[in-house]
């Protein structure tokens, strides 16, 4: 049996796209017969991350992490995050001459600039990139969600990337769902935002955009109290999961994705799978899914599935022209099985060789 150790500082009960991606990947790998060891913060004493209390930082030693990896004796090691556990696992791998892969989920340089404020755009991001180059530069390959992200990493001295896209659970996120009950009392057209309520998500741009109908915000985070006080006419539902989250997508006429810093944006393909068009800025993330003209990144969507514009309000209004059936068709193109195939293909054995028998671990073809 193939054995994989996955080290991550982002794990349940955190609620974000990274955790959902990793948890889904682990589940599907197990279904294919891969034995996966997950090393995550819930296994250690931890402290809340400053300004992000929901994120726990594991307080442990390289000796303990090393023992966990050594006792499991994995064939391959994947380090998913650049947090405390990620650095400890990286140190063990280098000391023991074990090759490993990493993945790039978060634009930390942009996040730092957003949190520090004006004047930090050129100074701090480059300092963060130096740290990221050190962390990921030791990996045999860096998994990235899109070609744009691969090009961005290459421009910062990290060229050794492999594709690892994202998927959507079409059994959960589908167009025939009943709308969330809260929508019954709201004014149409209903605009939705789903995601962590934090400064780097740029939610204020959504809440200040010109819009005739009501606005709904799903998510939790450090900026929630402030935004609720500043925008009392918006409707904040907090975090929703599973069928409740899917029903929120189904209730909306358009979903706005105002973030300029995300590496992908899992919520966009979830919204599309429910038939809800997406509006965003012409930046990586929306461009990789919605495309410059609103017909998908490759222009192959059957019709408009959303819109991007430097004027978010204009993009939201243009996205209303999309047909829900076209959005559903576009969302269903993002399958999890293909994503897991990519993940397996990007892994390396401890000696740096490709993983053997990858074809045997691929998802079965469906007639």
Strand ranges across the sheet with 254-257:
235-238, 215-218, 191-194, 254-257, 278-280, 306-308
One domain, residues 111 and 44: yes
Residue 306 lies in a domain: yes
What pLDDT band is residue 54 in, cutting at 50, 70 and 90? confident
Per-residue pLDDT tens for 1-41?
899 999 999 999 887 889 999 999 999 999 999 999 999 99
279 cis-preceded (ω within 30 degrees of 0) = no
Lowest mean pLDDT among 17-21, 49-53, 331-335: 49-53
Q: Mean per-residue pLDDT for 340-353? A: 96
User: For residue 89, is pLDDT > 60?
Assistant: yes
Per-residue pLDDT tens for 137-159?
999 999 999 999 999 999 999 99
Residue 66 lies in a domain: yes
Check which CATH number belongs to the domain holding 323 and give it: 3.40.50.2000
One domain, residues 242 and 341: no
- b/e per residue, 288-301, with b = 16+ CB within 10 A? bbbbeebbbbeeeb
Per-residue pLDDT tens for 282-328?
999 999 999 999 999 888 788 999 999 999 999 999 999 999 999 99
Position 334 scores a pLDDT of: 94
Strand ranges across the sheet with 76-79:
35-39, 3-7, 76-79, 101-103, 141-144, 161-163
| C-alpha torsion angle, residues 309, 311, 314, 318 (rounded to 10) | 10
Single pTM value for the model: 0.90
Residue 366 lies in a domain: no
Residue 174 lies in a domain: no
One domain, residues 7 and 155: yes
Position 278 scores a pLDDT of: 98
Q: Give the span between the Cα atoms of 48 and 54, in whole angstroms.
A: 7
Give bridge partners of residue 37 from the DSSP assignment: 5
Higher per-residue pLDDT: 120 or 30: 30
Position 362 scores a pLDDT of: 75
Number of domains in the chain: 2
Residue 48 lies in a domain: yes
Q: Mean per-residue pLDDT for 171-190? A: 96
3-state percent breakdown (helix, strand, coil) of the chain, nearest 5: 40, 15, 45
Position 13 scores a pLDDT of: 86
The rounded Cα 98 to chain-centroid distance in angstroms is 27
Position 108 scores a pLDDT of: 61
Position 109 scores a pLDDT of: 57
Side-chain-side CA neighbours of 366 within 13 Å: the count stands at: 4
Per-residue pLDDT tens for 201-217?
999 999 999 999 999 99
Residue 264 lies in a domain: yes
Contact partners, residue 261, CB within 8 Å, separation at least 6: 107, 110, 111, 114, 200, 201, 202
How far are the Cα atoms of 158, 222, 261, 360 from residue 124, in angstroms, in the given order?
Answer: 18, 22, 15, 45
User: For residue 120, is pLDDT > 50?
Assistant: no
One domain, residues 85 and 192: no
User: For residue 133, is pLDDT > 80?
Assistant: yes
What pLDDT band is residue 95 in, cutting at 50, 70 and 90? very high
Q: Give the span between the Cα atoms of 102 and 142, in whole angstroms.
A: 5
Residue 308 lies in a domain: yes
One domain, residues 339 and 317: no
**Residues above pLDDT 70, as percent of the chain:** 93
User: For residue 260, is pLDDT > 50?
Assistant: yes
Average pLDDT, the chain: 92
User: Do the beta carbons of residue 266 and residue 237 sit within 8 Å?
Assistant: no
Q: Mean per-residue pLDDT for 346-358? A: 91
- Mapped onto helix, strand or coil, the DSSP state of residue 56 is strand
User: For residue 169, is pLDDT > 60?
Assistant: yes
Position 367 scores a pLDDT of: 35
One domain, residues 142 and 230: no
User: Do the beta carbons of residue 336 and residue 325 sit within 8 Å?
Assistant: no
First to last CA, the chain: 27
How far are the Cα atoms of 41, 153, 184, 209, 224 from residue 214, in angstroms, in the given order?
Answer: 39, 39, 11, 11, 18
Domain boundaries, position 56: 3-167+335-361
One domain, residues 11 and 121: yes
One domain, residues 77 and 216: no
Q: Mean per-residue pLDDT for 329-357? A: 94
Q: Give the span between the Cα atoms of 211 and 188, in whole angstroms.
A: 10
H-assigned helices in the chain: 17-31, 62-72, 84-95, 108-116, 123-137, 147-155, 203-208, 224-230, 242-251, 266-273, 286-289, 312-319, 324-331, 336-346
What pLDDT band is residue 96 in, cutting at 50, 70 and 90? very high
Position 332 scores a pLDDT of: 94
Lowest mean pLDDT among 26-30, 163-167, 342-346, 354-358: 354-358
One domain, residues 14 and 160: yes
One domain, residues 355 and 279: no
Residue 241 lies in a domain: yes
One domain, residues 189 and 271: yes
Q: Mean per-residue pLDDT for 129-142? A: 96
One domain, residues 193 and 130: no
């Amino acid at each position: 049996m193939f054995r994989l150790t996955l080290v991550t500082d982002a794990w349940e009960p955190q609620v974000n796209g990274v955790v959902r991606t990793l948890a889904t990947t682990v589940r599907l790998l197990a279904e294919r017969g891969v034995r996966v060891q997950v090393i995550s913060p819930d296994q250690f004493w931890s402290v809340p991350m400053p300004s992000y209390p929901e994120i726990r930082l594991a307080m442990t030693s390289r000796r303990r992490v090393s023992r966990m990896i050594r006792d499991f004796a994995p064939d391959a090691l994947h380090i998913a995050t650049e947090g405390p556990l990620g650095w400890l696992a990286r140190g063990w791998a280098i000391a023991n001459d074990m090759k490993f892969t990493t993945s790039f989920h978060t634009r930390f340089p942009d996040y730092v600039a957003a949190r520090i404020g004006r004047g930090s755009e050129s100074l701090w991001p480059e300092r963060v990139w130096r740290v990221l180059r050190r962390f990921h530069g030791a990996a045999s390959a860096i998994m990235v969600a899109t070609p744009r992200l691969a090009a961005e990493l290459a421009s910062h001295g990290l060229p050794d990337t492999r594709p690892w896209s994202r998927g959507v659970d079409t059994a959960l996120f589908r167009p025939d769902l009943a709308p969330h009950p809260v929508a019954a009392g709201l004014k149409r057209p209903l605009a939705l935002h789903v995601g962590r309520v934090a400064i780097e998500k740029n939610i204020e741009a959504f809440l200040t955009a010109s819009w005739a109908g009501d606005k709904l915000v799903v998510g939790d985070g450090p900026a929630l109290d402030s935004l609720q006080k500043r925008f009392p006419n918006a409707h904040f539902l907090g975090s929703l999961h599973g069928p409740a989250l899917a029903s929120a997508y189904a209730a909306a006429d358009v979903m706005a994705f105002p973030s300029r810093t995300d590496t992908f944006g899992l919520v966009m393909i979830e919204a599309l799978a429910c038939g809800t068009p997406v509006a965003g800025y012409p930046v990586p993330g929306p461009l990789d899914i919605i495309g410059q003209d609103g017909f998908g990144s490759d222009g192959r969507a059957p019709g408009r599935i959303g819109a991007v514009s430097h004027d978010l309000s204009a993009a939201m209004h243009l996205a209303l022209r999309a047909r829900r059936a076209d959005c559903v068709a576009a969302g269903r193109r993002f399958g999890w099985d293909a994503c897991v195939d990519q993940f397996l293909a990007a892994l390396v054995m401890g000696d740096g060789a490709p993983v053997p028998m990858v074809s045997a671990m691929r998802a079965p073809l469906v007639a």
